[in-house]
Structure 1
Amino acid sequence: MQTISNRSSGAIGEIFGREKALIGMIHCPPFPGSPRYRGATMDSLYDACLRDAEALVAGGMHGLVVENHGDIPFSKPEDIGPETPAFLSVVTDRVKRATGVPVGINVLANAPLPAIATAVAGGADFVRVNQWANAYVANEGFMEGRAGEALRYRSLLRAEKVRIFADAHVKHGSHAIVADRSVTELTRDLAFFDADCVIATGQRTGHAASSDEIDEIAAATHLPVLVGSGVTEDNIVAILSRTNGVIVASSLKVGGVWWNPVEPERVKRFVERAIAGL
């Protein structure tokens, strides 16, 4: 494989202190300003996030991602108001103080600048960006990679310690606009544009990435690779044998659906299965 980036391959070890990381997702409830918000107090919203965070960490997860998943339908990056990173920053700070584990930020949809601002304000360690390079057609419309703009903003904030976890062949959209380029080439573009980790996903939230696509992505990059959707206690061992970790959400929730709270017994079983396979 031709080397196209001198970016370090050690982000997982440097952030989590281990070779493979189990990262739990906190799907925040709808925040004020979003269509599904129905007047809940801010304390009740923050407490719901903290309960999920504490259940995930108590069950053995190594890190967390805070995400505004309750804000469906998501806005395009230029339409996201200042209230979203403000609320997420408070959640992140409280989660970080309560758990002490590494935390990442994902601002939907595809908003790395608000995510970086949130990470700096809340003390997070990394951001997840669904489309870092190139472009695709998402549920929200046409989405461009914003790596150049985001890295300049990160530099402006003197926040180089905030790492970039970027999706390859991101879910919830069509890649027809780059269909003349392989998943291998799209993955290599992430390293070329200074991402720190690559995330493989399925077609939508809760959908598993195929083993063939995981292997293709892993073969295309020197960066750590994680799987970011569809991870369950049934496939975690196989996935960890191919990757440097996972970001998991739906399968750890009551009933296995993303909008429910985290179920501690599911977390315990998942971590036990993962550890047994390491």
Structure 2
Amino acid sequence: MAGPQVLPQKPDMLAALFPVKKPVIGVIHLQALPGAPRYNGQAMKDIFAAAVADAKTLAQGGIDGIIIENASDLPFCRPENIGPETVAALTAACMEVRAAVATPIGITCVANGAIPALAIAKAVGARWVRVNQWVNAYVANEGFINGPAPEAMRYRSMIDARDVAIFADVHVKFGAHAITADRSIAEQATDAEWFDADVLIATGTRTGSPTEPTEVNDVRNGTNLPVIVGSGLSPAQVPALFSAADGAIIGQWLKHDGAWWKPVDARRVAQLMQAVMLVREGK
């Protein structure tokens, strides 16, 4: 891959996880979990059933991986305030999904819960975690957030979860970049690689906002790691973005009416994967 050889080159974890060209990871946005302000006492079995239904639709549509996220727990807690009730519910939801589909799964524990996500991944056999702010510091919606990489990597070693890959966002969404404004996107990508991420993510500014090919290229210019798209992918954007990126995480566009809180739409999954297959076949 392009980019400076700032460290001994790591194994390509994206290729190890997904033995296909340009893998696509679909998102399950869980309904609000116990402890969150929007949780209304709904039976856990119903929350799990909705997650399983989404997982089956994604798997049947040919999605290569699934990432499970406590996306409805708004407003999100700071990492140190993520409670055991959230970890327990997210773990249980992941177990239900694992039992329902054979598709590899990953974990996002928002906001920026790297250590809770690693604990869940170890417990449920997830293959990777996504961390939106891995290095440096940002003024996020939740306030001032430090990059958790040093503590998280030590925790990963302590629980013997070295096989759980780190997918780290660069030039993160949902945050002000004032603190890192004197560092180029390529430099921030180098920082993430230096702090031992495995796969880097280029995104737009918010959930569902388009990722520009220039953003992907800027990230790639600072790293030898795989670079994937983390937001805003649609079938129309696949040719341009997949010419720059090694794969993608896609959530909002795959839902009914393109609304992230709605169920996954099988027709949209089919449309997206048809566009991906054309790229994989070189058409």
TM-score by length of 2: 0.96
Letter in 1 for 2:64: H
1:138–1:174 Cα contact (<8 Å) kept: yes
CA distance in 1, matches of 2:172, 2:87: 22
Name the residue aligned to 2:134.
132
Shift of 1:2: 3.2
Q: Give the one of 172, 175, 181 matched to 1:173.
A: 175
Name the residue aligned to 2:70.
68
CA distance in 2, matches of 1:200, 1:149: 23
Deviation digits for residues 217-246 of structure 1, max 9, x if unmatched? Answer: 112211000001000111012211111100
Worse-superposed segment, 98-107 or 109-118: 98-107
CA distance in 2, matches of 1:114, 1:141: 19
Letter in 2 for 1:184: A
1:168–1:187 Cα contact (<8 Å) kept: yes
Shift of 1:184: 0.7
Query: Secondary structure at 1:73's aligned position in 2?
Result: coil
Deviation digits for residues 1-48 of structure 1, max 9, x if unmatched? Answer: 432222524111111122321100000000010000011100000001
Name the residue aligned to 1:102.
104
Query: Secondary structure at 1:49's aligned position in 2?
Result: helix
Percent of paired sites with the same residue? 44
Query: Secondary structure at 1:189's aligned position in 2?
Result: helix
2:4–2:222 Cα contact (<8 Å) kept: no
Deviation digits for residues 162-217 of structure 1, max 9, x if unmatched? Answer: 00000000101101011111111001001101100000000000001111111111
Shift of 1:87: 1.0
Letter in 1 for 2:230: G
1:12–1:18 Cα contact (<8 Å) kept: no
Letter in 2 for 1:140: E
Name the residue aligned to 1:240.
242
CA distance in 1, matches of 2:140, 2:273: 32
Q: 1:110 to 1:7 in 2, by over 3 A?
A: farther
Query: Secondary structure at 1:100's aligned position in 2?
Result: coil
1:103–1:124 Cα contact (<8 Å) kept: yes
Name the residue aligned to 2:166.
164
What runs of 5+ residues in structure 1 fail to find an aligned partner? none
Query: Secondary structure at 2:28's aligned position in 1?
Result: strand
Query: Secondary structure at 1:136's aligned position in 2?
Result: strand
Letter in 2 for 1:259: W
Q: Give the one of 263, 270, 273 matched to 1:271.
A: 273
Query: Secondary structure at 2:66's aligned position in 1?
Result: strand
Query: Secondary structure at 1:124's aligned position in 2?
Result: coil
CA distance in 2, matches of 1:55, 1:277: 22
Q: Give the one of 8, 14, 27 matched to 2:10.
A: 8
CA distance in 2, matches of 1:206, 1:21: 18
Query: Secondary structure at 1:234's aligned position in 2?
Result: helix
Query: Secondary structure at 1:164's aligned position in 2?
Result: strand
CA distance in 1, matches of 2:68, 2:186: 29
CA distance in 2, matches of 1:19, 1:128: 20
CA distance in 2, matches of 1:22, 1:198: 14
Q: Give the one of 43, 46, 60 matched to 1:41.
A: 43
Query: Secondary structure at 2:235's aligned position in 1?
Result: coil
TM-score by length of 1: 0.98
Letter in 2 for 1:57: A
Deviation digits for residues 50-79 of structure 1, max 9, x if unmatched? Answer: 111110111110000000001011000011
1:5–1:194 Cα contact (<8 Å) kept: no
Query: Secondary structure at 1:167's aligned position in 2?
Result: strand
Q: Which runs of 4+ in 1 moved over 6 A?
A: none
CA distance in 2, matches of 1:144, 1:177: 11
Letter in 2 for 1:203: T
1:7–1:196 Cα contact (<8 Å) kept: no
Letter in 2 for 1:4: V
Query: Secondary structure at 1:13's aligned position in 2?
Result: helix
